[in-house]
Amino acid sequence: MKKYLFLCLLIGLAFSNSVFAEAEDTSTPFATKSGVNAEEELEKDAKTNTSLVPDSVPMSLDFTKSDSIMPSNFRGGDPDKGLVNVLEDVYYEKHEHCLIYEEDAKKMTDDEKAAKFDSDPNITWTTQRVDSEGNKIDKNGNKEGDPDYEPVVDSVNNNVAHCGGYFYETGDYQIGNSGGRLVDTGIGNSGGDDGGEGKEGQKVYENKDAVDDTTKTVTSGQTMGVFVHDCTSPDVWIAFQEGAGTTDMAACKADLVEKITKECVKLKGRPDTTDTSRFEDFSLLCVDEGKTEDRDKAPWNKTATLSAIGPMFNADGVLKASNEVNVKSGCISKEDQTRLVPVSIDEDKNKENASAVKSVIDGIYVRRNVPFIFAATSIDNGSDRKKQMPVIPRIEDEDGKEIQASSDNSYIFRVANYPEDSYKDQPKYYFVAKARDDSGNITTIRLPLYILDSNASFETSSK
Amino acid sequence: MKNFLFISIFTAFVLCGSSLLASDTNPNFDLNKTPWLEGVDLESVPKHITPVIPMKINLQSGEEFPKEIVEDEPIYVRADSDIFFDEPPIKDRGMDIPNPVWDRKPFVNWRIIDWETNKSVACTSSSDMEQNCMVVIPVQPTSRGAITCFVGRKMSYDNVEEPGRRKSCFANSNVARDVKVKDITPPTCGLQITVEGSAATVYPVENPPNMFPLPKTADLIIKGGLFNGDSEYEEVLSGLVLGPDMIAPEESAAIPVSRGAVVKLTVIGEDNYKLDTSKLKYGICAGAGGEPAPVCQENQPEYDLAAIKLPQKPYFYLDATDVAGNREVLFIPIKIVK
């Protein structure tokens, strides 16, 4: 029995020793410096500093685990670029760690004079938009060095090693973390009291000289490249205009395109429908991300706002502004996280949104024998809503066959088909438009085109 | 009994070892001692390649870096580091970096830390300067501060595990230059004068803020119902030199009080750094300018004017000094009314 107990004791001792030894190994201080000519730098430091506390230490930096962190090859990206792929308008947390955040300063150095921390860490998170070459860019897309560049410093000095937030604009980012901490190197006379109370009860280092003092600030920093992907369907504006009495429809169309594109870019897609008199000459259908409170929703909750103003959206030809409704977006591809905004009153194909769309617009109304044109433009948040994107508007029959425009890009229908009950044997037509951004998000519009049997002018009085 | 003792010792050793093992591999921290690590689940030393390149902060002029810099005075600094040069590092902590190439320009951030408050602010400049240069303007006095520079630069290198492919990482270079920042701004204290529930306040506001070089200037804010019965009354006088000779003009700042009034004086405002409260004085004096000549006991909460032999030109005065020795003396004229 005695031998058995003695054996147990020996085993216990042996086990504990190995653990203690292992613990010691894993807490080996960081003693080497990296980089070019590191040994020379170390020698230089040894000559000028009597302390082996480094000036800076490396840092780990990453996003915390999230289902919304996309794979390295997301949307065909190059995994070798080392960018973290994230989605716009989603909450993400970042965290970081380094030796200056540890409890024990001795982990930084072999110095047996027992370096110790003399302050809490100072920690700042910096988020900076960059272009593909790494140049800083401002909120207007101007590059650092451009005359219009306005420096943007998006930094949070929160003094903690984690930080959460959203990316509301798409594109390239560099996330930086800057850390610092006072370290008493233990070399020289570090005696003396710490000074008195200053403002707000803060510790005051009144009795220490900044240079002769034994303390120094040790820094640590890290950078991370992030690409924020666009999950918002493009804004689309379509203008319709009748050409009664006008001979040069082609010129009208070119003017109309220019007019609505300028306004769309100026207003960043959000139409101003307060002054209805502006819409006497043309009718405007808009699909955009919506008012401020409706924008920047998480991708799976995204909506678009539909609005219509003008005389060509009702059978009476009355100039009126519709209410606005939100159209829910759908997922095109879960793998690519691309979104679709469908504007259609077809209950079968757009069950979720059909009635909402119908409350704003149920069709485009044109008069027979009167030529009309339409102009479409699209802008996208992926390019800061600054440039026009291609839109493909057309008219097609119910079989999907495109109706060709005349040589001057106008359309004219000779036979009425509305009201439908009175013209059951007449063909149905649809106005169709599709806009696709560079990320693959799509906005589609498919609305009936009604040809009225009316020779009267459209009224322009408002209701 | 002996058996029991041996078993207990054995068990204690095993448990002790187990708990040690658990703490070494578990990234949990003692949040009582390191509360900033809450929510962190990373190792303190990254295992992947991420070179740290040494850096020094020097003056652009090449002169010796001063131990103390002056509040609001621009200081032209330069970060010296190989991260700005063409050759990326080829080693990181014993790990080889094969065929390294810089992919992007350096990403530079300058900050000033005030260790007294543990707050840091970014330095920005619209001046055309070299990428490793900055003009730093320290606006907050401190006995313990640091100018810091942080640079990250994207690089790529051969992926030895997958020949033909590349890997990316960021090289970093950062350092601090510890400094003191000398306070050169006098206090901006003022007086609130209350008579029978009606009050007037007179105090300076540094304007423009952070001006350099001296002298500092200020607007003098004059407000309150004691002047004319209108509690919303406010006037701003610009261009006063902030310092030991601030005289509020009689035509707009004279405080009307009756000969028998009991006046309550309260010091308001503060210093941009630290007021030396042991040197704070206020009361009633004869004349304005130069050293105040008190006509009664200083620093009283109330003054019964009937009990004071007032001079021909009486003034309320405030004499405030900060810990750096910057002094403010403010004279406010008294107008005796019936």
User: Per residue in A395-414, pLDDT tens?
Assistant: 999 999 999 998 888 999 99
Structural contact between residues B141 and B183, judged by C-beta atoms closer than 8 angstroms: yes
What distance in Å separates the CA atoms of residue B100 and residue B81, rounded to the nearest whole number?
Answer: 17
Which residues of chain A neighbour B176 with C-beta distances below 8 Å?
55, 180, 216-219
pLDDT band at B127; cut points 50, 70, 90: low
**pLDDT in the model for residue A454:** 73
Select from A332, A330, A331, A314 the least CA-distant residue to A322. A314
**pLDDT in the model for residue A141:** 79
Which range (A39-43, A190-194, B161-165) has the least confidence? A190-194
Give how far B224 is from chain A: nearest CA, Å: 29
Strand partners, B286: B314
pLDDT band at A60; cut points 50, 70, 90: very high
Average pLDDT rounded to a whole number, residues A198-208: 36
Which range (A37-51, A53-67, A100-114, B122-136) has the least confidence? A37-51
pLDDT at B110 over 80: yes
pLDDT band at A266; cut points 50, 70, 90: confident
Looking up tokens 């619209």 gives B126
Give how far B288 is from chain A: nearest CA, Å: 31
**pLDDT in the model for residue A132:** 80
What distance in Å separates the CA atoms of residue B189 and residue B319, rounded to the nearest whole number?
Answer: 9
Give phi and psi for A273, each to the nearest 5. Answer: -110, 20
End-to-end CA distance of chain B: 101
DSSP state of A35: S
Q: Rounded mean pLDDT of chain B? A: 91
**pLDDT in the model for residue A195:** 36
Interface of B with A in 192-221 (CB under 8 A): none
Instruction: Decide if A19 and B17 are in contact by the 8 Å CB cutoff.
Output: yes
Looking up tokens 């001979």 gives A247
A-chain residue closest to B277, CA distance: A198
pLDDT at B114 over 90: yes
pLDDT at A356 over 60: yes
Reading the block at residue A97, the tokens are: 């760690």
Average pLDDT rounded to a whole number, residues A95-120: 86
What distance in Å separates the CA atoms of residue A364 and residue A370, rounded to the nearest whole number?
Answer: 14
Which range (A3-17, A157-171, B292-306) has the least confidence? A3-17
The overall longest dimension of chain B from CA atoms, in Å, is 102
Crossing angle for the helix pair B2-25 and A2-26, nearest 10 degrees?
20
**pLDDT in the model for residue A66:** 92
**Close Cβ partners of B269 (under 8 Å, ≥ 6 residues apart):** B187, B188, B189, B190, B203, B204
In our burial notation (b when 16+ CB lie closer than 10 A, e otherwise), range B107-145 reads bbbbbbbbbbbbbbbbbeeeeeeeebbbbbbbebbbbbb
pLDDT at A131 over 60: yes
Looking up tokens 């300063």 gives A105
Instruction: Decide if B105 and A220 are in contact by the 8 Å CB cutoff.
Output: no
The 3-class SS string of chain B reads CHHHHHHHHHHHHHHHHHHHHHHHHCCCCCCCCCHHHCCCCCCCCCCCCCCECCEEEEECCCCCCCCEEECCCCEEEEEEEHHHCCCCCCEECCEECCCCEECCCCEEEEEEEECCCCEEEEECCCCCCCCCEEEECCCCCEEEEEEEEEEEEEEEEECCCCCCCEEEEEEEEEEEEEEEEECCCCCEEEEEEEECCEEEEEEEEECCCCCCCCCCEEEEEEECHHHHCCCCCEEEEEEEECCCCEECCHHHHCEEEECCCEEEEEEEEECCCCECHHHCEEEEEECCCCCCCECCCCCCCEEEHHHCCCCCCEEEEEEEEECCCCEEEEEEEEEEEC
What distance in Å separates the CA atoms of residue A23 and residue B20, rounded to the nearest whole number?
Answer: 7
pLDDT band at B228; cut points 50, 70, 90: confident
Which position has the higher pLDDT, B261 or A39?
B261
Instruction: Decide if A198 and B45 are in contact by the 8 Å CB cutoff.
Output: no
Q: Which of A2, A11, A18, A19 to mutate to test the interface with B (most CBs of B within 10 A)?
A: A19
Which position has the higher pLDDT, B13 or A26?
B13
Average pLDDT rounded to a whole number, residues B297-308: 95
Instruction: Decide if B45 and A60 are in contact by the 8 Å CB cutoff.
Output: yes
Is any Cβ of chain A less than 8 angstroms from the Cβ of B301? no
B-chain residue closest to A11, CA distance: B10
Which residues of chain A neighbour B99 with C-beta distances below 8 Å?
none
pLDDT band at A1; cut points 50, 70, 90: low
**pLDDT in the model for residue A6:** 63
Structural contact between residues B181 and B69, judged by C-beta atoms closer than 8 angstroms: yes
Which range (A51-60, A380-389, B108-117, B316-325) has the least confidence? A380-389
**pLDDT in the model for residue B62:** 93
**pLDDT in the model for residue A81:** 87
Residue type, A125: W
Instruction: Decide if A180 and B119 are in contact by the 8 Å CB cutoff.
Output: no
In our burial notation (b when 16+ CB lie closer than 10 A, e otherwise), range B311-337 reads eeebbbbbbbbbbbebbbbbbbbbeee
**pLDDT in the model for residue B5:** 66
B-chain residue closest to A2, CA distance: B3
pLDDT band at B7; cut points 50, 70, 90: low
Q: pTM of the entire structure?
A: 0.81
Average pLDDT rounded to a whole number, residues A15-42: 37
Structural contact between residues A38 and A201, judged by C-beta atoms closer than 8 angstroms: no
Average pLDDT rounded to a whole number, residues A254-279: 83
Select from B177, B216, B277 the least CA-distant residue to B71. B216
Give how far A32 is from chain B: nearest CA, Å: 6
Instruction: Decide if A101 and B168 are in contact by the 8 Å CB cutoff.
Output: no
What distance in Å separates the CA atoms of residue B123 and residue B189, rounded to the nearest whole number?
Answer: 29
pLDDT at A18 over 50: no
**pLDDT in the model for residue A321:** 79
B-chain residue closest to A93, CA distance: B39
Tell me what ipTM this predicted complex has. 0.87
pLDDT tens, position by position, B149-185: 999 999 999 999 899 999 999 999 999 999 999 999 9
pLDDT band at A276; cut points 50, 70, 90: confident
Which residues of chain A neighbour B169 with C-beta distances below 8 Å?
82
**Close Cβ partners of A241 (under 8 Å, ≥ 6 residues apart):** A252, A256, A281, A282, A283, A372, A373, A374, A375
pLDDT at A379 over 60: yes
Instruction: Decide if A101 and B150 are in contact by the 8 Å CB cutoff.
Output: no
**pLDDT in the model for residue A188:** 52
**pLDDT in the model for residue A46:** 45
Instruction: Decide if A120 and B90 are in contact by the 8 Å CB cutoff.
Output: no
**pLDDT in the model for residue A117:** 94
pLDDT at B122 over 60: yes
- Identify the top-confidence range among A295-299, A360-364, B325-329: B325-329
pLDDT band at A191; cut points 50, 70, 90: very low
Instruction: Decide if A82 and B168 are in contact by the 8 Å CB cutoff.
Output: yes
Give how far A62 is from chain B: nearest CA, Å: 8
Cis (ω within 30 of 0) for the bond into A419? yes
**Which among A56, A151, A204 is the nearest to B52, CB-wise?**
A56
Instruction: Decide if A23 and B24 are in contact by the 8 Å CB cutoff.
Output: yes
**Which among B13, B68, B116 is the nearest to A16, CB-wise?**
B13
Looking up tokens 């950078």 gives A223
pLDDT tens, position by position, B17-72: 444 443 333 456 789 999 999 999 999 999 999 999 999 999 999 999 998 999 99
**pLDDT in the model for residue A88:** 96
**A295 in helix, strand or coil?**
coil
Which residues of chain A neighbour B117 with C-beta distances below 8 Å?
199-200, 202
pLDDT tens, position by position, A412-424: 999 999 999 989 9
Q: Rounded mean pLDDT of chain A? A: 81
